[in-house]
A and B are shown apart, each in its own frame.
Chain A
Amino acid sequence: MTWQAVARKEFDDSIRSRWLHGSTLFFVLFLGGAAALAFGFLLPDQFKDASNLFGFFVDLGIFSLSFPGLFALILGFVALSTSYGSITEERETGTIKLALSLPNSRMDLVAGKFLGRGAVVVAALLVGFLAAFVALLATGTSIGFESFVPMIALTVLLALAFVSVGLGISAVADSNREATLATMGLYLIFGILWKPIAEGIPKLLNYAAEEAGVGALENFTRVKIGLFLKYLNPLRTYETLVAQVYYGPARARLVSATTGEQLAVANQFAPAQGGVPIYLSGGAMLLVFLAWIVVPTLVGYYVFRERDL
């Protein structure tokens, strides 16, 4: 196994790319800037707590906005952009012939790419959080490490998940152009289309059940199916888990939920009512998250292994 050599090469190469410098600068400005702006200027002293920014959620049902949700969209874009060309570009320029002339297996190449590119995005991200940390200290804001640190860890996992998705696309695509289009399409699905589809499927199931004469599905069941499908989206998984870190599981299930969902689950998921069902629990969502990190790269590898260069 020589994936270390490939990962090292990837890191050395990417660390010099303008794209990385740009995204690092962006993370610094975005995370550090947001913290400085929020706690230095906007919020009064009694709100000087990191949770008021990194745990900022507005869930009015018809209107939802959250800092983690917004940041996840941006991070997803940066991570995808860092990885979607990692194999197709090497194939198009011919650098892959140098890498695979050496005793690197295709597994070494894919694993090395994942670690190298992942490390680059995570490094940029951590510099951003460092800037935020400095801003928090400078403004005398209480940090609350018991939620700040898990939040950063979740953000790192999100970055790796999207690096993995981009790498998987790159390994499967025939050309850079194909990889670009697939990445854009997938980003659109994660960012916009996932929600209506996840809401549509329980309705479809309900309709099918009625037609089959089994009778309509209970509203609560429909909502749980819908939520389960929504939580398969890594963006939503991240947002919900971050909310859980700050506000606990029951409250976190209301984040970004529709009014109908909020009404259905608000009381049912309270600890007194038996809490959150296992397949919607934080543990299950963590598994979904890990699957997004492992599966796309693995599938990409199996396809790439069988191909001619």
Chain B
Amino acid sequence: MAAIELDEVTKRFEEGGRLSRLVDSVRNAERSDDVTAVRNLSLTVEEGEVFGFLGPNGAGKSTTINMLLDFVRPTEGAIRVLGFDARDESVDVRARTGVLPEGFDVYDRLTGRQHVEFAASSKRLDEDEADVDAVLERVGIADAADRKAGGYSKGMRQRLALAMALVGDPDLLVLDEPSSGLDPAGAKEMRDIVTEEAERGTTVFFSSHVLEQVDAVCDRVGIMREGELVAVDTIDSLREKSDADSTLRVEVAGDVSALDVEAVTALDGVRSVTVDAAADSLTVSCVGDAKMAVIDELESQGLDVTDFETREASLEDLFLSYTGHDAPETDEAGDGQEAHA
């Protein structure tokens, strides 16, 4: 049985208040300001897997997670979590799932311990099963457990919500941006907890807009962009793809603006060429094997190559290229001309 199955899921949010919706429906007008947050998303996460759900802010990650938990309902499509229908059997889903939601807040007047006790009694655990103290200890807020949560820092609130998620040993952990608000040490602890849980056989589904956090712990990642899933792959396979890409920076003697950019761009394996006239240099993004061909072409155009360096594209660059952002290097070419293959 798959832990999470999404089948052709679409979510459209209706914008505007009730009145404007009513007026539009009476006038039979098209709703132009509706927002499609998730479009035709199909995805399967297997049991025991650690799945990283990546994408920039606003890509539809949180909406997808909110649909898994029945916070919002899909406009179209079917969702099953742990074998249960995400909508009709949501309580069964959440009984076996620990959740760290995004954009949550704590109950200011309740203590940390009362929060975890609320989680335990909602999950119908008795005192032995819950072991509230152990959970508080595990997330590192045992010292502050009897203080009101209203006085907690952002990072402590995040830890408290994680404690509420972990109590009762869930089969599935759904973590929405778990490291937000945590300092580097806290983020590391969070990763360790994820790894521990995964070792116990818990399925972990977590979202992030920072690739580094996913890199170390995930078996597979899915990348979202503007509501659509643009890639699903293992980290290793993604890395292979990214290794094939490299960036070549060439400094030339002579007038670089005389360069026939089109001819360079037309070479096999070249993806883009950026010319920086002020620095007499150009930056070429290409597959590794095309480097020599680029140098040869420059020399045949009568430009002497004085220096060159190559840089392997990082996983980060690949992620950015999937999510529709250029790698930072090309962004810096302020006054250069740019041509894309």
A residues apposed to B, CB below 8 Å:
2, 4-6, 8-9, 12-13, 16-17, 93-95, 97-105, 174, 308-309
Contacts and interface: CB of A to CB of B under 8 A. Distances in A.
A116 B21 CA distance: 35
B122 interface: yes
17 contacts: A16-B109, A17-B109, A93-B105, A95-B107, A97-B102, A99-B122, A101-B104, A102-B94, A102-B123, A103-B94, A103-B124, A104-B94, A174-B17, A174-B18, A308-B13, A309-B71, A309-B72
A97 B17 contact: no
Contacts of B72: 308-309
A33 to B, nearest CB: 29
Nearest to B122: A102
Given A105-B91, A174-B18, A98 B109 contact: no
By Cβ-Cβ distance, the 7 closest A-B pairs, closest first, are: A101-B99, A102-B122, A308-B72, A103-B95, A5-B121, A97-B101, A97-B104
Interface centre among B69, B72, B104 (most CB of A within 10 A): B104
A98 B106 contact: yes
A13 B71 contact: no
Contacts of A93: 105
A33 B4 CA distance: 62
Contacts of B119: 102
Interface residues of B, number: 35
Interface string B302-331: 000000000000000000000000000000
Contacts of B106: 95, 98
Interface string B72-114: 1100000000000000001110110001011111110110001
B107 to A, nearest CB: 5
B90 A105 contact: yes
Contacts of B90: 105
B91 A103 contact: yes
A101 B13 CA distance: 21
Interface string B114-126: 1100110111100
Given A95-B107, A97-B103, A100-B71, A5 B118 contact: yes
A99 B110 CA distance: 13
Interface string B12-51: 0100011000000000000000000000000000000000
Nearest to A98: B104
Nearest to B67: A308
B164 interface: yes
A104 B121 CA distance: 10
Given A95-B106, A101-B101, A174-B18, A308 B71 contact: yes
B18 A101 contact: no
Contacts of A9: 107, 110, 114, 118
Nearest to A100: B71
B66 interface: yes
B161 interface: yes
A6 B122 contact: yes
Given A4-B121, A95-B105, A102 B164 contact: yes
B164 A98 contact: yes
Given A13-B110, A308-B72, A8 B101 contact: no
Contacts of B6: none
Nearest to A92: B105
Contacts of A102: 94, 99, 118-119, 122-123, 164
B221 interface: no
B165 interface: yes
Contacts of A174: 17-18
A6 B18 CA distance: 29
Interface centre among B107, B122, B124, B164 (most CB of A within 10 A): B122
B67 to A, nearest CB: 9
Given A97-B101, A101-B69, A101-B104, 19 more contacts: A2-B124, A4-B121, A6-B122, A9-B114, A17-B109, A94-B103, A95-B107, A97-B102, A98-B101, A98-B106, A98-B161, A99-B122, A102-B94, A102-B118, A103-B94, A103-B95, A174-B17, A308-B13, A308-B73
A66 B118 CA distance: 44
Contacts of A6: 122
Interface string B225-239: 000000000000000
Interface string B211-243: 000000000000000000000000000000000
Contacts of B118: 5, 8-9, 102
Contacts of B99: 101-102
B104 A104 contact: no
Contacts of B69: 100-101
A95 B165 CA distance: 14
Contacts of A103: 91-92, 94-95, 122-124
B104 A95 contact: yes
Nearest to B109: A16
A101 B105 contact: no
Nearest to B72: A308
Interface centre among A5, A95, A98, A308 (most CB of B within 10 A): A98
B340 to A, nearest CB: 40
A4 B123 CA distance: 12
Nearest to B11: A308
Contacts of A13: 107, 109-110
A8 B110 CA distance: 11
B73 A94 contact: no
A144 B105 CA distance: 50
Contacts of B95: 103
B328 to A, nearest CB: 33
Contacts of B17: 174
Contact of B121 (A8, A94, A95, A100): A8
B165 A94 contact: no
A81 B110 CA distance: 20
Contacts of A98: 101, 104-107, 115, 161, 164
A90 B121 CA distance: 20
